Amino acid sequence: MSQKQEPEKRKPKSNFSRRGFLQGVGVTSGVLTTGVLESEAEAQTSAKVAGPGEVPITLQINGKPYKTSVEPRATLLDTLRHRLDLTAAKRVCDRGTCGACTVIIDGKVMYSCTVLAIDAQGRQIQTLEGLSQNGKPHAVSRAFVANDAQQCGYCTPGFVMAAKGFLDKNPNPTYEEVKTGLGGNLCRCGTYMGVRKAVLDAAKEMKGTKNA
Amino acid sequence: MPNTPDYHWPPMDKRRVMGKRLERLDGIAKSTGAAKYNSDLKPDGMLFGALLTSPHAHAKVTSIDTSAAEKLAGVTAVRAVVKAGDELQWAGQEMAFVAATTEDIANDAIRLIRVNYEVMPHLVNEEDLSKAGNRARPSGEQATGDIDKAFQEADATSEGSYGIPVLTHCCLEPHGQTIAIKGDHAEYFPSTQNVYGIASDIGRALNIPIANVHVHMDYMGGGFGSKFPADKWGLESAELSKASGGRPVKLFLDRATELSIAGNRPSVFAKVKTAAKKDGTITAWQSETWSTGGIGGGNLNAALFPYVFTQVPNRRINHTAVSVNAGAARAWRAPSHPQVCFITCSALEDLAAKINMDPLDMFLKNINYTSRADLYKFQFAKAAELMEWKKNWHPRGDSASGPVKRGLGLALGTWGGAGHASTCKTTIHPDASVEVELATQDLGTGTRTMVAMIAAETFGLPVSAIKVKLGDNAYPNSGGSGGSTTIGGVTSSTRKSSVNALAKLFEVVAKSLDVSADDLEAVDQRIRVKGNPDKGMSFTQACQKLGVNSISEMGANEPAKAPQEGLNTGGVGGVQMADVSVDIETGIVKMNRLVAVQDCGLVVNPKTAESQVYGACIMSICGALYEERIMDEQTGRVLNPDMEFYKLAGIGDIGEIIVHMDIREENDKRGVVGLGEPCAIGGIAAIANAVANAIGVRAPRVPLTPARILAALERRTA
């Protein structure tokens, strides 16, 4: 064991980086040297470099601070699941397509597989674990059960969070709005008919229940 | 027991729990995130596994060097499963496994493994049979009647080519497990359809007693037929754990690997010729089909042609299995049926169009060629009513002006689904709590809820009074969940063990009431004398009479005896009808409605049963319009092993779905029959037929992407 390098001493094998890439294409591609990208590259140059190796972070999740350490490349999803045992959010496509990892960050519905944990610091993260109040399941969770909007249940946590975020912004949606509003989540068992009804039921239930 | 107790289901009008639309018992656990899937586990000291797979569809390994991976800090074990000289037969084939303290380190270690190859020629696409060469294996002709004469004498013949591609299961929870090997004991937490049987895979491979392999799984995130064996990743994770001092190793496949090697459904391509009389009577069926199930070829049951109309008098059937360099097929919800249904119902719809006949009339005209004529007649009538078929159907090609064309299509299906062998233990405790234990698994179909409902019905108790214990191989063997055999098996064994336990309780109560045990019944949380409901006691009081002893009784479903007992049988029918709109300028198909009428004998819980049918309809929409595994001719790899380009329908893509469970006394008296497979058969065919009806020409190849619709329209005008 002693001849092995310790993780924190490891150096990146490649010098390839997004910043280097942007600078590289900047020379040859007029299209990409737009103001936005240049300013991003600029900002990165002056940013504090984190890692390689694990760095300590604090995440504000469901109103409570969680301290852990992660490699800078760790996604919020993997950090929730592997480091904090918050496993409601599921890893399915792991590239921002299916919505099984949906959480709410600063009031916005997001795929936690596309957010780096280090970038989620200082933001209010809400996961499905934080939705129940005093042990009582949230109206959306209850509506999913009442309308049998789940089978294997692996997409369900993401759907519930997407529905919660959707209803926060659209408290009185039409059936058609539900069909487009929940379009960012995929289910393999085919529970969409139940989900549509569940979201409409939850909307009714949540009206007047301030805490829901 | 002197006399065989009466296990029969209570009559429909006497049931208090069965047949009710109850919520699934694990619903809240799932919808609040409390449900722990085995992919969510993180036992103390857990390591992460990762695997290296072949980038080539066909190659010989000339060297493999894992030394750099072994030296990486945090890596605890590395195992190469191929060596120099081994031939790799598909892209994605497993080559090496690594365990490390974090998933990132495990993946870094995988990238440090150096493999050299001698790349060899591959075949990955089977659609063009002429390119298959000696990879094509014909299975011989099956012929009945005089087909050549039938074609000569026919009033009309129809010829067509059809194709349905390889699909992948795309289970949302990938294949994988968390496993620890300590000495000759295993703690095994897989995602499986086979909680009891899977222990033997680990026991045999690691040479430890199967009795020492403990399997546990509370929830699983989808299987659809693909999750029975322990698989290479299970066995190798066990070896990694063993090599890492017994620390648990978690390895669940990433999405690309899941879609590349964790199972798929065989394709089918077909050239079909059919014949009919003017009145619509089908006189001949001839099909030449070919398909692939991966490297092994095969995996399609061509004897199912012509689907459901199996008694068409003159038939000639040829099938060729094509071996390709791609991951192996696995059972996929109703193996062979959706594909054979699609080919058959497409060809028959084309035949109906040829003689200007409504396909509904033609299907009914030939319904005696099926083995369930009365059932299908009833179901087609019901579906036609729900779809307003006679009002909305038009001859092929919507003549309405404008670019959006609407059409209707139909299909039918059948499946067995008799209960598998299942054993169950029911225990009544002196405090009146009731446990039901059996080593089955709830795939999301509602098995846990159904078991509780059967026990509650038997004991006259509410469902909440029953504690169901499943998902653990410490309980009695209740078989794997495949082929829609679970519901018949577990309901029958639960019924029998619960009736047996209740009979013992009756013996105790009978003494204190001074009546015969045969005179007692369990109703409304009471044990009482039949015909004299005031004479009796509460279930709780009855159990108190047990003193300190619990009652535990076994019950078994034995498939050979089940037909006589009447608790479960096999053999169901279902029909589906689709209503679509097609924009002939863009080629986009929009689902309007899908109607499903489905029989599954005695329906234990219509709410969860309907959910399965809704789900199967949506899966059919995926197969008809979106899903397809695409293989790259050049690299031999899956081109779309992800969820952007391996497309599933979203919540807005499915139109409206109308499910009618065919619950009638004559179906109910056949007992419980499986549902998962039969409802997943007809939808693709119905949708494809609706598209042909809308645009006036057959688009022969699913999924019906805009490009394929536009190509079909181009051929029509060419």
DSSP string, B608-674: HHHHHHHHHHHHHHHHHHT----B-TTT-SBS--STTTS----TTSS-EEEEEE---HHHHTT-B--
Could you give the residue ranges of the DSSP H alpha helices within B438-558? 447-459, 486-513, 539-544
Overall average pLDDT of the B681-685 stretch:
98
List per-block mean pLDDT (blocks of 10 residues) for chain A, which spans 212 residues.
43 46 42 45 61 93 97 97 98 98 98 98 98 94 98 98 97 96 98 98 83 44
pLDDT at B226 over 80: yes
- Does position B377 have pLDDT exceeding 80, yes or no? yes
Minimal Cα distance from A4: which residue of B?
Answer: B73
Residue B132 has pLDDT above 80, yes or no: yes
Picking from B613, B684, B596, B682, the residue whose alpha carbon sits closest to that of residue B413 is B682
At residue A46, the pLDDT reads: 55
Residue B32 and residue A88: Cβ atoms within 8 Å?
yes
Q: Average pLDDT in the B395-412 region?
A: 97
Q: Write out the H or E segment, with its range, that includes residue B100.
A: strand B94-100
Distance between CA B64 and CA B77 in Å, rounded?
16
With an 8 Å Cβ cutoff, are A156 and B31 in contact? yes
pLDDT at position A208 is 58
| Residue B268, beta-bridge partner list | B164
Partners of B32 on chain A (C-beta within 8 Å) are 88, 128-129, 131-132, 137-138, 141, 160
CB contact under 8 A, A178 and B651: yes
Tell me the pTM.
0.94
Adjacent-strand bridge partners of B26: none
CA-based nearest distance B653→chain A, Å:
9
Map tokens 């074609």 to a residue.
B151
Q: How far apart are the first and last CA of chain B?
A: 78
CB B621 within 8 A of CB B649: yes
Q: What is the pLDDT of residues A67-120, one digit of tens each?
A: 999 999 999 999 999 999 999 999 999 999 999 999 999 999 999 999 999 999
Mean pLDDT computed over B457-473: 98
Q: How many angstroms separate the Cα of B551 from the Cα of each of B428, B519, B659?
A: 5, 20, 42
Evaluate if residue B546 carries a pLDDT over 70.
Answer: yes
Q: Which of B479, B473, B480, B481 is nearest to B186 (CA)?
A: B473
* Chain A residue with the nearest C-alpha to that of B47: A82
Q: How many CA within 13 A on the CB side of residue B329?
A: 26
A133 CB near a chain B CB, below 8 Å?
no
Kindly identify which residue of chain B lies nearest to residue A88, measuring between CA atoms.
Answer: B33
Neighbouring residues of A27: CB distance < 8 A, sequence distance ≥ 6:
none
Question: B24 versus A42: which is more confidently predicted?
Answer: B24
Q: Give Cα B339 distance to the centre of its chain.
A: 14
Query: How big is the A-B interface in CB pairs under 8 Å?
Result: 186
Average pLDDT, chain B: 97
Query: Is A90–B28 a contact, with Cβ atoms under 8 angstroms apart?
Result: no
Is A129 touching B (CB cutoff 8 A)? Answer: yes
CA distance B206 to B223: 25
Count CB neighbours of A116 within 10 A: 18
**How much is the pLDDT for A34?**
42
The three-class DSSP label of residue B592 is strand
- 3-state SS, residue B105: helix
Tally helices (H) and strands (E) across chain B: 19, 29
**Helix, strand, or coil (residue A10):** coil
pLDDT at B448 over 60: yes
Strands of the sheet with A124-126, listed across from one edge: A64-70, A55-61, A124-126, A102-105, A108-111
The whole-number pLDDT of residue A50 equals: 82
For residue A22, what pLDDT is reported? 43
Nearest to A6 among B73, B222, B617 (CB): B73
pLDDT tens per residue, range B497-518: 999 999 999 999 999 999 999 9
Q: Please identify among residues 72-111 of chain A the ones whose CB lies closer than 8 Å to any CB of chain B.
A: 73-74, 78, 81-82, 85, 87-95, 97-98, 100
> Residue B5 — very low, low, confident or very high, per pLDDT cuts 50/70/90?
confident
Per-residue confidence (pLDDT) for residue B718, from 0 to 100: 57
The share of chain B scoring above pLDDT 70, in percent, equals 99
CA–CA dist B466, B454 (Å, integer): 10
Average pLDDT over residues B588-612: 98
For position A207, what pLDDT does the model report?
A: 86
Verify whether the Cβ–Cβ distance B37 to A138 is below 8 Å: no
Amino acid at B180: A
- Give residue B84's pLDDT: 98
Question: What is the pLDDT, as a whole number, of residue B715?
Answer: 87
For CA atoms A156, A160, A165, A171, give the dihedral sign: positive
Mean pLDDT of B268-274: 98
Span B297-315, mean pLDDT?
A: 93
ipTM for the assembly = 0.97
- In angstroms, the separation between the Cα of residue B547 and the nearest Cα of chain A is 36
